[in-house]
């Protein structure tokens, strides 16, 4: 059977193997503590769910404008201009079926065959595949996870085929947050070479005592940056599949073309939930952030007590731990002997590291750390 070599070139994620084993053990009744998932364990705040249900009852079940409900585009522009300091208007925004869909569309909109895209590693698992699906070539540039400071190595990775650079801060998998100096280096590279930045800021609301600066807020970057964000992490809305991109109008217009021939639009009543999320009570976001912070401190303290070195976990809900050597073997041992599922760093181009998601209740984290400490 004829199959696409483009899709064939995308390997299924290495993370899935351990996650699948963890699930199989759980199904067999084994008490596995899963610290491998990238989603909040909280319920979506009730006022958001209520707004969606009301929209359904009102009959908001028809097509909406392709880039999103006008009120939602307006709300995203307002939040981006206010909180993120990104000069923005609704015509520079597109609402998508999750942040991942926005990333995929942005790659489709910007890249031509053979175009190179710099990806800072450790990196989230879907950037490479999204680049390859757009016939681009990912160029992975390692950043030291223990500092997460960019250096001139970034400049050396730029060639005359470089068209885009992907930045993700706060980072999945490391939880680290890029400082102004590092963001400034990215901005210099983009401005000097006319390169577009894709800045994935899906964890921007989840930072702990450090500022999260939007790349597009730096001088001259608003027309060179496609900012990706969404509802999944801040509002515990992973299953709603709702996200957005904002950026230069030509890129957003091309993304709208892609969307018009693929999903058509984000789901109409789901967008009403998103509108309630952005315009309604923000206190649940802060409550969840505080809970994550408490768990973060606990996990980091326990790991330090066991002698592990970790990346600066200033954001998101991940601790990134240096275990040295064969991280897949270590993750397997944690699963087999401690019944604790984590993700090997190799999945993020960071062999010798493990990603621990602390989006799990404190008692379960305590139990998990006790089990690992007893190994």
Ligand X SMILES: Cc1ncc(COP(=O)(O)O)c(C=O)c1O
| Residue 193 in contact with ligand X, rule: CB under 6 A | no
Which residue's CB is nearer to ligand X, number 136 or number 230? 230
Cβ-contact 361, 58 below 8 angstroms: no
148 binds ligand X (CB under 6 A): no
> Cβ of residue 13: shortest distance to ligand X, in angstroms?
11
Distance in Å, CB of 371 to ligand X, minimum:
25
Binding-site member from 32, 33, 36, 38 for ligand X (CB under 6 A): 38
**Token match 């040295």: residue?**
324
Among 78, 89, 238, 282, binds ligand X (CB under 6 A): 238
Query: Phi and psi for 320 in degrees, rounded to 5?
Result: -115, 120
- Told to check if 200 binds ligand X by CB under 6 A, we report yes
Q: Taking CB under 6 A as the rule, does residue 19 contact ligand X?
A: no
DSSP at 11: P
- Pick 218 or 245: Cβ nearer ligand X: 245
Stretch that binds ligand X, among 1-9, 96-104, 148-156, 182-190 (CB under 6 A): 96-104
Q: How far is CA 57 from the centre of its chain?
A: 32
Position among 72, 99, 143, 236 found at the interface with ligand X (CB under 6 A)? 99
How far is residue 365's CA from residue 33's CA, in Å, rounded to a whole number?
A: 8
Q: How far is the CB of 146 from ligand X (least distance, A)?
A: 20
Pick from 44, 225, 227, 232 the residue near ligand X by CB under 6 A.
Answer: 232
Question: For residues 254 and 109, is the Cβ–Cβ distance under 8 A?
Answer: yes
- Kindly determine how many residues on this chain lie close enough to bind ligand X according to the rule CB under 6 A: 13
Residue 230 sits in the site that holds ligand X (CB under 6 A) = yes
Q: With respect to ligand X, which residue has the nearer C-beta, 243 or 284? A: 243
Nearer to ligand X by Cβ, of 40 and 284: the residue is 40
Q: Where are the alpha helices (DSSP H) in the chain?
A: 5-8, 15-27, 46-58, 70-82, 99-110, 127-133, 153-156, 180-193, 249-261, 268-279, 283-305, 327-338, 362-373
Among 73, 97, 63, 38, which Cα is nearest to 240's? 97
Q: Which stretch binds ligand X (CB under 6 A): 25-33, 42-50, 98-106, 278-286?
A: 98-106
Nearer to ligand X, 127 or 334 (CB): 127
CB burial string 80-109: b at 16+ within 10 A, e below? beeebebebebebbbbbbbbbbbbbbbbbb
Binding of residue 145 to ligand X (CB under 6 A): no
- Part of the chain binding ligand X (CB under 6 A), chosen from 7-15, 92-100, 174-182, 355-363: 92-100
Is the separation of the CB atoms in 224 and 190 below 8 Å?
Answer: yes
Residue matched to tokens 């392709």 = 66
Distance CA 298, CA 269 (A): 38
| 309-310 and 137-142 beta bridge pairing | unpaired
Closest C-alpha to 206, from 181, 171, 240? 171
Q: Give the range of 71-79, 93-101, 345-353, 363-371 binding ligand X by CB under 6 A.
A: 93-101
Cβ-contact 339, 351 below 8 angstroms: no
Indicate the residue among 128 and 339 with the shorter CB distance to ligand X.
128
User: Residue from 67, 108, 168, 227 that binds ligand X (CB under 6 A)?
Assistant: 168
Nearer to ligand X, 39 or 293 (CB): 39
Q: Is 100 in the site for ligand X (CB under 6 A)?
A: yes
**Which C-beta is closer to ligand X: that of 162 or that of 172?**
172
Alpha carbon distance 142, 129 (integer Å): 18
Q: Is residue 202 at the binding interface for ligand X, with CB under 6 A as the rule?
A: yes
User: Edge-to-edge, what's the strand order for the sheet holding 343-344?
Assistant: 309-310, 318-322, 353-357, 343-344
Please, which residue, 314 or 339, has the CB nearer to ligand X? Answer: 314
Interactions with ligand X, residue window 257-316 (CB under 6 A): none
**Can you read off the two tokens belonging to residue 62?**
């028809």
Any contact of residue 243 with ligand X (CB under 6 A)? Answer: yes
Instruction: Note the residues at the interface with ligand X (CB under 6 A).
Output: 38, 98-100, 124, 168, 172, 200, 202, 230, 232, 238, 243
């Amino acid at each position: 059977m004829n199959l696409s070599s483009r899709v064939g070139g995308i390997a299924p994620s290495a993370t899935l193997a351990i996650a699948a084993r963890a699930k199989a053990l759980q199904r067999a009744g084994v008490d596995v503590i899963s610290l491998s998932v990238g989603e909040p364990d909280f319920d979506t705040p009730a006022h958001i769910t209520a707004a969606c249900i009301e929209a359904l009852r009102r009959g908001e079940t028809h097509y909406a404008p392709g880039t999103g409900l006008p009120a939602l585009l307006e709300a995203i522009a307002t939040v981006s201009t206010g909180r993120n300091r990104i000069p923005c208007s609704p015509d520079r925004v597109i609402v998508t079926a999750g942040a991942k869909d926005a990333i995929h569309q942005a790659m489709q909109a910007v890249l031509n065959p053979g175009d190179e895209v710099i990806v800072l590693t450790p990196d989230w698992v879907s950037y490479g595949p999204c680049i390859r699906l757009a016939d681009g070539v990912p160029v992975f540039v390692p950043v030291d996870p223990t500092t997460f400071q960019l250096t001139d190595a970034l400049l050396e990775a730029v060639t005359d085929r470089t068209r885009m650079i992907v930045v993700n801060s706060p980072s999945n998998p490391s939880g680290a947050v890029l400082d102004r100096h590092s963001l400034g280096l990215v901005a210099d590279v983009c401005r000097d070479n006319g390169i577009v930045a894709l800045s994935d800021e899906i964890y921007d609301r989840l930072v702990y005592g450090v500022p999260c600066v939007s790349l597009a807020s730096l001088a001259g970057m608003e027309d060179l940056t496609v900012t990706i964000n969404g509802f999944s992490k801040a509002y515990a809305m992973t299953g709603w599949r709702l996200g957005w991109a904002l950026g230069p109008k030509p890129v957003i217009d091309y993304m709208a073309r892609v969307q018009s021939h693929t999903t058509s639009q984000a789901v109409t009543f789901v967008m009403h939930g998103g509108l309630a999320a952005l315009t309604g009570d923000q206190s649940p976001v802060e409550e969840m952030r505080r809970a994550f912070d408490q768990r973060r401190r606990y996990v980091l303290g326990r790991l330090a007590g066991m002698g592990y070195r970790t990346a600066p976990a200033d954001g998101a809900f991940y601790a990134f731990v240096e275990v040295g050597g064969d991280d897949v073997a270590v993750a397997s041992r944690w699963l087999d002997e401690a019944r604790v599922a984590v993700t090997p760093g190799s999945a993020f181009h960071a062999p010798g590291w493990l990603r621990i998601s602390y989006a799990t209740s404190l008692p379960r984290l305590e139990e998990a750390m006790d089990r690992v400490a007893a190994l």
